[in-house]
Structure 1
Amino acid sequence: MMDKLEKVLGPLATAIGKNKYLIAIRDGFLVSTPLLIAGSVFLLLANFPIEAWTNFVENLMIGNQSLASLLSKCSDATFSIMAVFATMGIGYTIARENKSTPIFGAVVALMSWFILMPFQFNANITSLADATGVAINVPEGANAVVSGLQFGWLGSKGLFVGIICAITSVELYSWVERKGWVIKMPAGVPPTVVQSFSALIPAFIVMTVFFLINLCFVACGTNAFDFVFAFLQTPLLGLGDTLGAMVVAYIFLHLFWFFGINGGSVVGAVFNPILQSLALENLDLYRELGPAGYSVANGAHIISQQFQDLFATFGGAGSTLSLLIAMLFFCKSKRIKELGKLSLVPGIFGINEPIIFGLPVVLNPVILIPFILVPTMNIVLSYLAMNMGLFPPCNGISIPWTMPVIISGFLSTNWMGALFQGVLLVLGVFVYLPFIKTMDKQYLAEEAAAADSADTDDIDLDDLDLDDL
């Protein structure tokens, strides 16, 4: 089976490895990978799943801020603005592939992205007053138009628009350069000055084009970011409390992640209120009936917030803890092994951005199939097991999303639920295995080629013949 899959996936991986745009997106995301890994450590410290620790960091005040909020600033400086890094990185890489000046590609991509970004948004005045400490007497729920940047657009919500802007703006910039529409300086001018002036006309044309694009969106009463986000959310309307709804929601969630958009944020905006309501009903029933009487037969909901957090995925979207295990135990390429080692601890606690953007999962068709299939398998099998009474549905007790697998299953159901989590984790490893092995072979070939190139470039003094001088 693995041989057949490799015959199909091998040519696909090779084609991906030669595609300029996918290379640019992959390498562009690598810019943010070390920052995301470092930010994961601080995010874990702020949300470590031990109640005594979370109470400590939330109650320890340093000046007028808690230690938890200060720790969260490190994740805000990485996760919350990762689209900025990715847009610049993709622009840089495409410019490099086009033989343009990479640094100008990066800044042109970022400029285009910011031109399309809304700089004004509605904010609740009461919330603003609470944040600033200024007492304002306003009607409850009143809104004001505020000028500034929203963290949502700077993070994963704005990533898809960033990818589009980086590709289109740098391609346009490179096309203008190839046409020769540049300012040429006389000989003797420093190279940096020459590059700066030669970028003037291409950058101006890119700016004008994106100004006109933004003008069209504004004339229609919207903006590019809101349009894309609303367009992606539309298919999610109408999802409800059923196994089919959960599966459909998670297929969409993982498709969004494939395009670099935080699927949890998009799907969660529609689906999480339903799941939270179901979890509260479960908690009330659990308190009323106790562990002995709590069951599906007595009205407990299988689909709930805890079911999503603790049984659909292990280690983050795509259930990538299974992928990490496959990377560490079955892969040989240095790239995959080292990334697996760096991502293991965050992955145990449900933080998988290093894998999503470092492997990458984003725009990687080879990994897309198991990335969707493993969570779907987890949802269906867990639902069937709970429905058959092998173990009870999640009891509705709030358990941190960072709680490791096995422990979370025991706390939310019983020992049988914890054991079932372990079984699903292992099954996920075998589903991911043929796909990650395909990537592993590709990376091994690239590493071998790089090593051969390095050996060829080395100068061996023993080979020098002084008689030829």
Structure 2
Amino acid sequence: MHQRVFAVFTRGAAKLAANTVILSLREGYIALIPFFVMAALVTLVTHWLNYEDLGARYVFLSSFNVLVWTLFPLTTLLSFSYYLAKNLKLNTIAVPILVLTCFTLATGYIYVLDDGSIGINNRAGVLYTILMPIFCCYTMRAILRARWLRIMPVGNISLFLVKHLNLMFPYILVVLATFMLLPMLDSMLGSALSQLNELQSQWSGNEKLTMQLLSAHVLWLFGIHGDYAYQIMAAPQMSDYMLSFAMDGQSYINAFVLLGGSGCIWGLLIACLMQGRGTHEASIARLGSPLALFNLSEILVYALPLVLNPYFVVPFIMVPLINALLSNLVIGQGWLPLVAGADIPWFTPVFMSGYLATGSVIGVLWQALLIALSTLIYLPFVKANREHNVSGRQLDMLVKRVSAGRQLERQAETHFAKLDSEKFAEQKRLTEVIETLKDGALCLYYQPKICKRSKRILGFEALLRHKQSDGTIISPWFIDVLDRFQMMDVVDSFVIDQLELDLQQFHRHQLAPKISFNISPRNLIYRRYKRVIRAFSKFPDQVEVEILESSYVDDFSRTQEVVAKLQSQGIRCAVDDFGTGYSCLSLLSKLNVDTIKFDRSLLPSDEKDSAIILYQSLSQLCHKLGFEVVAEGIESDFHVDFITPLPVKQLQGYYFDRPLTLEQAILKFAEQGLATPVPITQDLPATESKKAAL
């Protein structure tokens, strides 16, 4: 029962990770990690040096600290706006500027003083750093769909100029919508916060402590700096209070609750390091450990990530509450003596803070015990996150799935300036391709390859597909257009990266099918073969690169050289679409590939078709030359009966199955009981996950 519940949870978590808003928030926060760390370090330095006692010479530290935290909401706003606009296929400069304008004016973050000068209220609109980009971006996208608001059609002027001119009316309408709706929302939120603060004023110290821990950690999970935001939104008596044992709440939190930063980061760090060297979790833990010495948790919160990660919701909130409860009980029993009036700054390293709070090694031992308990709590959640959640390379692939169109748009604008009027029609075709890619996402499907004798699946061919905005899956009709403009590199990069992740997913299920794929011949031979080796050499004899015969014709020696390098790294090579275009029998004897794939056009249509003789002769010839032969395009009983006596090892076509999603391919391959993987040259992290054949 619990396995089914966990499976449902895993599917939900995967869908959540792929949600446009969630993906954009993660991208935005990852991009801001350098700023977050700098802000934390500035605060650490100013508090550590106690600049107020050092005189006017160090006043600049105070000013710098205030300015950094004043910029904090703006940086979050702009980064999230940029990535949300990018993933919604909106203008990534104009839209963040629009969001910034609406935010600063509508929330009172920037205001005009009586003397006409400008003031900043960095306590205004903290929650709107998330809400405002979502509202503005989705409102903008909805308005842009109204074609009657466009003031200029695509014509003889730059596509770049047209797109920006057509933003004028949507810009105005979004601003109007913001100023109409925000005051009502602001009034409701302000009233609710005021009532909550009034209610909390009657609470005991322990109740205030619980509310502070819950509120701050929930805000952290949404990417908002929980401690900073809580200090802004809560009434003063809710953040400055004494506990029943005469210790102020913040010192108690610093000494016995957080232990490395929000969420008790030292417990999480150790749990991550236990995942093994080379894993995403362990790498991030090693990177974040120096900062965790001073209770700075930004690296793990934003890079692991903890933000918007359903796998860490429970432990991230539960561990601080458990630490607070256990420490309260131990202190109440008199087992943990406290130093009267002990003031423990937030940046005091763990163990040192325990010693200062208790005046003895007992405090140190108690902290070590709490960290050990926290590690045990985090451990199963870290393991589940590693096995099932989107992190590291997979996050990159989620980004690539929705950003190919945007990358191509930037390249297209460069090409536009070089085109003359005679090539306008071709440019229009390229524009159509880019708009198609921007309105959907690239994906890989897998068509089974069948053993002729056993009729079992031996492997798959990875096929590039395009998922439109309505969910429809279509073949990549745009490949030829991109190839003519030498813009295939974006698509090829996607195919290589996604296939590498999908192979890891097969491996996680203890499956190792042989998978072939195809990328642009020009990119493979002259640019991408090293990337192919890095991606697939760890899957020896499992991956096969399909090369067009034209590559040998265009540059025989270079193609042979690249094929030899691929084969030396355990990557098989095949000639794809043999029998079309450049097929040459004199060249056949010189090919150094492993496999020949007969194009479907070679197959005879019936018993009277003279193509029967040609197909029989070619299959015999290729077999005698030592090539493994694959027959593509099998669609009927006649084809199967015709191929059966020939020296053809593998069959591929709609007769057996249509292209499958990764999940369907894993399920079908696993059902055969072929769950014995070939050796992998290195330990792969467990993560999720033709020119492709058309």
With normalisation by structure 2, the TM-score equals 0.52
Selected match of 1:397 from 329, 342, 354: 342
Provide the residue aligned with 1:295 in structure 2.
Answer: none
SS in 2 for 1:278: coil
Identity of aligned residues (%): 20
Give the gaps of 5 or more residues in structure 1: 49-53, 124-142, 280-298
Provide the residue aligned with 2:289 in structure 1.
Answer: 344
Deviation of 1:109 (Å): 2.3
Distance (whole Å) between structure 2 residues aligned to residue 89 and residue 275 of structure 1: 29
Matched, 1:422 2:375: no
363-372 or 8-17, larger mean C-alpha shift: 8-17
Provide the residue aligned with 1:284 in structure 2.
Answer: none
Provide the residue aligned with 2:107 in structure 1.
Answer: 117
Residues 6 and 434 of structure 1 are in contact (CA less than 8 Å); yes or no, is this contact kept in structure 2?
no
Aligned pairs for 1:246-285 (under 5 A) are 246-265=209-228, 267-268=230-231, 273=237, 278=242
Q: Aligned partner of 1:30: which letter?
A: I
Aligned pairs for 1:15-414 (under 5 A) are 15-48=15-48, 54=49, 58-59=53-54, 61-62=56-57, 65-66=58-59, 68-69=61-62, 72=65, 76-77=67-68, 79-118=69-108, 148-153=119-124, 158-180=125-147, 181-185=149-153, 187-214=155-182, 216=184, 226=190, 230=194, 233=197, 236-242=200-206, 244-265=207-228, 267-268=230-231, 273=237, 278=242, 300-301=245-246, 304-330=249-275, 335-413=280-358, 414=360
Residues 9-42 of structure 1: CA deviation (Å, up to 9, x unaligned): 4223212222122112222222311211233333
Aligned pairs, number = 412
Provide the residue aligned with 1:127 in structure 2.
Answer: none
Matched, 1:440 2:386: yes
Larger radius of gyration: 2
Distance (whole Å) between structure 2 residues aligned to residue 261 and residue 236 of structure 1: 22
Q: Aligned partner of 1:365: which letter?
A: P
Residues 239 and 271 of structure 1 are in contact (CA less than 8 Å); yes or no, is this contact kept in structure 2?
no
410-419 or 390-399, larger mean C-alpha shift: 390-399
Distance (whole Å) between structure 2 residues aligned to residue 394 and residue 261 of structure 1: 34
Residue 215 to residue 152, structure 1, CA distance change in 2 (3 Å): closer
The structure, 1 or 2, with the larger RCO (C-alpha pairs under 8 Å, 6+ apart) is: 1
Residues 184 and 197 of structure 1 are in contact (CA less than 8 Å); yes or no, is this contact kept in structure 2?
yes
Deviation of 1:419 (Å): 0.7
Provide the residue aligned with 1:126 in structure 2.
Answer: none
Deviation of 1:112 (Å): 2.5
Distance (whole Å) between structure 2 residues aligned to residue 372 and residue 302 of structure 1: 23
Residues 265-286 of structure 1: CA deviation (Å, up to 9, x unaligned): 565575864775637xxxxxxx
Residues 217-239 of structure 1: CA deviation (Å, up to 9, x unaligned): 7xxxx768755754764664432
Distance (whole Å) between structure 2 residues aligned to residue 333 and residue 23 of structure 1: 24
Provide the residue aligned with 1:130 in structure 2.
Answer: none
- Give the number of the structure whose residues are more often helix, by fraction: 1
Deviation of 1:384 (Å): 1.1
Residue 274 to residue 236, structure 1, CA distance change in 2 (3 Å): closer
Residues 95 and 170 of structure 1 are in contact (CA less than 8 Å); yes or no, is this contact kept in structure 2?
yes
Give the gaps of 5 or more residues in structure 2: 398-493, 501-516, 530-546, 555-581, 584-694
Residues 112 and 210 of structure 1 are in contact (CA less than 8 Å); yes or no, is this contact kept in structure 2?
yes
437-446 or 312-321, larger mean C-alpha shift: 437-446
Distance (whole Å) between structure 2 residues aligned to residue 4 and residue 405 of structure 1: 40
Q: Aligned partner of 1:240: which letter?
A: S
